[in-house]
Amino acid sequence: MKFNTALLHKNFSSDPSTGATVTPIYQVSAFSHESPEKLEKIFNNRAPGFAYTRISNPTVDSFEKRIASLENGIGAVACSSGMAAVTMSLLNILKAGDEIIAGSGLFGGTIDLFEDLKAFGITTHFVKRVCIDEIEPLITEKTKAIFAELIGNPALDIVDIESVSMLAHQHNIPLIIDSTTATPCLVHPIDHGADIVVHSTSKYINGGGNAISGIIIDSGNFKWDESRYEFVSEYKKYGKFAYLAKLRNGMWRNIGCCLSPMNAFLNTIGLETMGLRMERLCDNALQLAQYLDTFEDIDVNYPMLENSPYYSLAQKLLGGNGGAIITIRVGSKERAFKLMNNLKYALNATNIGDVRTLVIHPASTIYVHSSEEQKINAQVYNDTIRISVGIEDIEDLKEDFKQAIDKIGEEN
């Protein structure tokens, strides 16, 4: 199947009992069974079925299977938020004394999470660029995961997954990729060597800004070493499904960060048009970035601009797409606020992946808890504006930003 066909038909068909063309919302807490013997088998993973929505639910299950199939994984576990997915993907394999190597150009909430993990004895070492030269010197016996955003948010740095995954696997370390900003439309990280893929499905997969959610997809390819990862001894009977079995039967299940059936349904609806939206979003982002680049006082960061250090990698890895986020620097925080206040269509909101164009001043919002060094490493400055480009007519977006920029000049 081609991609847009796969969004509708891969690993999915009409509901067998009713013919419903979308999996119904099973908005229930628990599921009854004909006998205690049957329920015992379900609870002990000896029979398929559903017992309690915190553990599994038909609506959520359908969403998980469709995303896993799209990402060429063996299975997926949906979570209540993107941050829950990031957290669970790591805590599923880490313990006190372990270390993570991560990129610096991360979403502010993820940086905050790594700070929180210190209290549990887990240390994170940050690299300015997620590349072999910077990662290899930091690898020790304690390194148990390498984590990176495929397209950094908002740094917009791109990871060469193939080279980084080869290094990780030489040292028997899994590579966990947050592919939220890239989406399965642009790249399948597993095909390039990633072991675990994470999405904040609240963003481009959902597309409408109406549901919080996240998902973890396992490639099934990583060879978990029992001497390095203690959980393997208990779950090795599940073979390549060991990571997912541990996740479902351990940390994820017990913390209770399950996805609600309603949000799974809303994400499924959004999923089916993701290909069409991403085509428009990426096209709009490129045109808007090229247009903003014509203004002398505006410094534009977008991977598909020819002056970007990631231009060649975007061509190779992302099929000539740069995603739908642009960052600009305008000279000062005051000018940034004025520009944002002058915009008519772009909304001032902390989200990405909406059908509407959204803008935010990262330094004073999503990076408010980060140190100055962390902000600089993430390419977040006082004059930075992050633009999550929407599906509006590009002529209207250009005109909106033009009038907003012109007004700054008039006020000065």
Model confidence over 216-247: pLDDT tens digits? 999 999 999 999 998 999 999 999 999 999 99
- pLDDT bucket at 372, cuts 50 / 70 / 90: very high
Edge-to-edge strands, sheet with 175-178: 75-79, 214-218, 196-199, 175-178, 143-149, 99-103, 123-127
Q: Is the distance from CB of 176 to CB of 159 less than 8 angstroms? A: no
Chain segment 311-342, per-residue pLDDT in tens = 999 999 999 999 999 999 999 999 999 999 99
Calculate ∠ Cα 96-102-103, nearest 5°: 160
Residue 14 has a pLDDT of 80
d(CA 101, CA 189): 18
Q: Is 399 helix (H, G, I), strand (E, B) or coil?
A: helix
User: Does residue 80 have a pLDDT over 80?
Assistant: yes
Residue 192 has a pLDDT of 98
User: Does residue 410 have a pLDDT over 80?
Assistant: no
Q: Is the distance from CB of 219 to CB of 196 less than 8 angstroms? A: yes
d(CA 406, CA 272): 39
User: Does residue 389 have a pLDDT over 90?
Assistant: yes
Q: What is the mean pLDDT of residues 266-295?
A: 97
Beta pairing, strands 175-178 & 196-199: parallel
Helix (H) or strand (E) holding 375: helix 372-377
d(CA 297, CA 346): 20
User: Does residue 123 have a pLDDT over 80?
Assistant: yes
Residue 412 has a pLDDT of 60
Q: In angstroms, how far apart are the furthest CA atoms of the chain? A: 76
- The rounded radius of gyration (Å) of the Cα atoms in the chain is 22
For the chain, what is the mean pLDDT? 95
Chain segment 10-56, per-residue pLDDT in tens = 988 887 788 899 999 999 999 999 999 999 998 888 888 999 999 99
Q: Is 191 helix (H, G, I), strand (E, B) or coil?
A: helix
Residue 409 has a pLDDT of 75
- pLDDT bucket at 411, cuts 50 / 70 / 90: low
d(CA 298, CA 328): 6
Q: How far lies 396's CA from each of 61, 344, 350, 359, in Å?
A: 40, 10, 22, 16
- How many beta carbons lie within 10 A of that of residue 115, not counting itself? 14
% of the chain exceeding 90 in pLDDT = 90
Q: Is the distance from CB of 380 to CB of 363 less than 8 angstroms? A: yes
User: Does residue 126 have a pLDDT over 70?
Assistant: yes
Q: What is the mean pLDDT of residues 383-401?
A: 98
Type of residue at 201: T
Q: What is the mean pLDDT of residues 146-173?
A: 96
Q: How far lies 223's CA from each of 69, 172, 193, 229, 231, in Å?
A: 21, 8, 13, 10, 13
Note if the pTM is more than 0.85. yes
